[in-house]
Chain A
Amino acid sequence: DQQVKQNSPSLSVQEGRISILNCDYTNSMFDYFLWYKKYPAEGPTFLISISSIKDKNEDGRFTVFLNKSAKHLSLHIVPSQPGDSAVYFCAASEGGFKTIFGAGTRLFVKA
C-alpha cells in the first residue's frame, strides 16, 4: 500500500508560469512533510519542508501548502524556470525518522 501518492507522473509548464505539484497521503500520523528534487544520475536534493502544525511554508520561488483534513500537500513553483525541470518527490515521516517517498512527478519547464 502506498502511503504517499503522487498521481501525476509528469507535468509540463511554460517558463514563467506557475508549476503545481500535488501529493496525497493516507497516514494521518505523518507529522513532517518534505519535497525533494532529483536530476538524472544524482541523488535527491532537499527543497522545502513543512511541519504538520503549519499549513504553509515559503522559500523564495517555492511554497508548500498542507491541507491536513484532505491529507493533501502541494508544491508551488513560481515563476517556473527551465532549470526547474527535474523529478520532484514528496516525502513524509511519522514522529521519527523513517521517511516514506512518493513515486515522483517529472516536471518539464519549456522555454
Chain B
Amino acid sequence: GAGVSQTPSNKVTEKGKYVELRCDPISGHTALYWYRQSLGQGPEFLIYFQGTGAADDSGLPNDRFFAVRPEGSVSTLKIQRTERGDSAVYLCASSPEGRDTQYFGPGTRLTVL
C-alpha cells in the first residue's frame, strides 16, 4: 500500500517568505507527527496530532510555525517569515494510533536563502 507522502520534495524560498509543507499519511492512521532534521542531527519533534487536534505542539520553535490537520488526514505545516535557520529536512510520520511504530515519509528539504 501507499506510504506516507510529502510534497514538495524540495522547496527553496527567500528569507521572509511564507511556505506550506504538505503531508499525506497512510490511510486510516489517526496519529500524525512532524519533525525537523538538521544536518548531522536526529529528527527533532515539532508537533503531534491525534485525529484533527494537536495533542502536543510543545516542539514548535516559535509562533512562526503552525500546523493543521482539518479533516484528520492530510496535514500542512506552515512557516511564516522564514529565516535561514529554518533550513532543514521536515519529516512527517503517521501511526495507526498514538503509541505505535511511526512510519516516516521521505521528507521535504527546505532551503531558505
Contact = CB atoms under 8 A, between A and B. Distances in A.
Interface of A: 4, 6, 32, 34, 36, 41-46, 49, 89, 91, 93, 96-104
Nearest to B46: A98
Nearest to A47: B101
A43 B31 contact: no
B36 to A, nearest CB: 11
A99 B45 contact: yes
B62 interface: no
Contacts of B105: 43
Contacts, number: 59
A32 B98 CA distance: 13
Given A6-B42, A98-B48, 7 more contacts: A41-B106, A43-B91, A43-B104, A46-B101, A97-B33, A97-B55, A97-B56
A99 B104 contact: no
Interface of A is mostly: strand
Contacts of A32: 99
B100 to A, nearest CB: 9
Interface string B67-105: 000000000000000000000000101000011011111
Contact of B33 (A6, A99, A100): A99
A41 B99 CA distance: 26
A35 to B, nearest CB: 11
A16 B49 CA distance: 42
B55 to A, nearest CB: 7
B42 to A, nearest CB: 3
A80 B48 CA distance: 34
Contact of A98 (B4, B56, B103, B104): B56
Contacts of A44: 43, 91, 104
